[in-house]
Amino acid sequence: MPKTLFITGASSGIGAATAHAAVASGWNVALMARSEDKLRSLQNELGDAAAIFPGDVTQEADLLHATSGAVDRFGGIDAVFANAGRGLSKPGTEGGDLEDIRGMIDLNITGLVMTARATLPELRKTQGTLVLTGSAAGRRHIAGSIYGATKWFVHGCAGNMAEEMREWGGRCAVVAPGMVDTPFFDQGAPDKLQPEDVANAVIQIIDAPKRAAIREVFLMPQA
């Protein structure tokens, strides 16, 4: 019976690429994002192996609905990719818009924690794997980067979750890419990773044998 991967931020970019890679590897996928139209288009591409759950990961009711829906459709959840996140329209501590900053922190930190809270009871049943989207920005200091600070949280959270989940046979990992060729980066270095590169790393993590816990995959463009 195919295993099931639950993906947030699934409608485009890394999330959509991971959905394609997972289905190609024999997984079912439960896809959550705010854009219902994009999710439906992705579902049409993936066929019966995909179920969609439009919603916002900062809203507990949406997460619980998506989690229970995935279990009803596929019988359980074997892995979760907490991928939803965003940057700022104008970076910087003083120059950024305060509401924009609050929204980013709510999504990148609170939304991640809420995703874990909603899905951990199902992962406990399957001794499953939780993967968090970190960043190269969460591994080094960048002047004034509040976005980078949220990713430092993600990296710390992944390590702490790995220790917690290990107690009952689960695994937690962080996948940390540099610049990826998605709408998230509309400018910057000309040589970027592709979403498929990150997706392949996620599949490596969740397909690893039970005896092996991959804690972090750090990806950078090979210029």
Q: Which of 21, 77, 30 is nearest to 49 (CA)?
A: 30
**Burial class of 160 by CB neighbour count within 10 A (0 to 12, 13 to 18, 19+):** exposed
List, in sequence order, the alpha helices (H) in 75-194: 98-105, 112-126, 146-166
Candidate list 15, 123, 147, 203, residue with the active-site label = 147
DSSP string computed for 168-204: TT-EEEEEEES-BSSTT-SSS-SS-B-HHHHHHHHHH
Q: Residue 184 catalytic?
A: no
Tell me the C-alpha to C-alpha distance, in Å, between residue 163 and each of 18, 168, 170. Answer: 25, 10, 9
**Burial class of 167 by CB neighbour count within 10 A (0 to 12, 13 to 18, 19+):** exposed
In the three-class reduction of DSSP (H, G, I as helix; E, B as strand; rest coil), residue 131 is classed as strand
Which residues are annotated as catalytic? 147
